[in-house]
Amino acid sequence: MFATDLALATPLLILAGAALFLLVLGAFLPRPERVVGLGAMAALAASAVAAVVGPQGQAFSGALTADAASVFAQVVICLGSLVSIPLGQAWFARRGIRHFEFPVLVLLAALGMAMMAGAGDLLSLYIGVELQSLALYVMAALQRDDAKASEAGLKYFVLGALSSGLLLYGASLVYGFSGAIRFDAIAAAVQGEAGTGVLFGLVFMICGLAFKVSAAPFHMWTPDVYEGAPTPVVAFFAGAPKLAAMLLFARVLAEAFPLAADQWRQVLILIALASVAVGALAGLAQTNLKRLWAYSSIANVGYAVLGLAAGTAQGVQAMLVF
């Protein structure tokens, strides 16, 4: 049984092991940027291959799920992260900034995103979100001598801590009123119309996850962080983390609360319409290209959330394609 669990978790173990090894290696090599970058890219490629050829099923008593959706997300996450490493290193090198930690942070963020994509219970959900978020906070402030980058990292960290609190409080309410942390067990406990306590917990979780995908009205961090963060880091923010968070969003709603769709669909529609409106209208007033990217990202998240609001398998598929 444990061997099966390890086989299902192989893509995650590759990322975790490579991140730890490259961090130690980079501390001892005199000019480690190139070696660490190539090692991180090789680890991401190996993780994507392991996800495709590996077995599917549930590991660690349902905490981790390997299915078609998680495999698709892990491959896209690894490829997106792989492309960001040479782009980021070239950008930093042109400015005389040598940070071998950048590829390591990308690996740790990819590990968190892969956990989010395959989360099967509330604990793995939270650990994946936090692992990804902590790496992204540091990446936003990686240009240490730039005041805007430091401001971006600080704003992201403070507001991210608030959203993590909302997510954790919502998860604790759901656990308290349902008595379960696994998504399928929560669905079995809720059975039909969710009670008031579970609904309060679900709303808090939706708010926390909406922050992670920068959906309105939880988008306040996005323009400032995009403007201050290094350009390749912004490109990374706009890609893989959004896919991982949206798939996690879909898992929580479709697997843990499938019979409460009438309740959560109304919230998602409001969030989607607000995101489209804020992204489109606020984008008209921008004169900074990276802030324009931020509002474009907010609007696109609104369209993706509309797919989830449908509450069907076809809606989730449309969201992933988008």
Task: Identify the pLDDT of residue 1.
Answer: 72
Query: Which pTM does this prediction carry?
Result: 0.92
**DSSP secondary structure, 23-50, as one string:** HHHHHHSSS-HHHHHHHHHHHHHHHHHH
Question: 288: burial class by Cβ within 10 Å (0-12, 13-18, 19+)?
Answer: exposed
DSSP state, 71? Answer: H
Rounded to whole angstroms, what are the CA distances from 67 to 56, 82, 206, 257? 5, 22, 23, 19
Task: Identify the pLDDT of residue 194.
Answer: 61
Task: Identify the pLDDT of residue 298.
Answer: 93
Task: Identify the pLDDT of residue 14.
Answer: 95
Task: Identify the pLDDT of residue 111.
Answer: 95
Write the pLDDT tens digit of every residue in 94-111: 888 777 889 999 999 999
Task: Identify the pLDDT of residue 171.
Answer: 94
| Residues of the chain where predicted confidence (pLDDT) is lower than 70 | 192-194
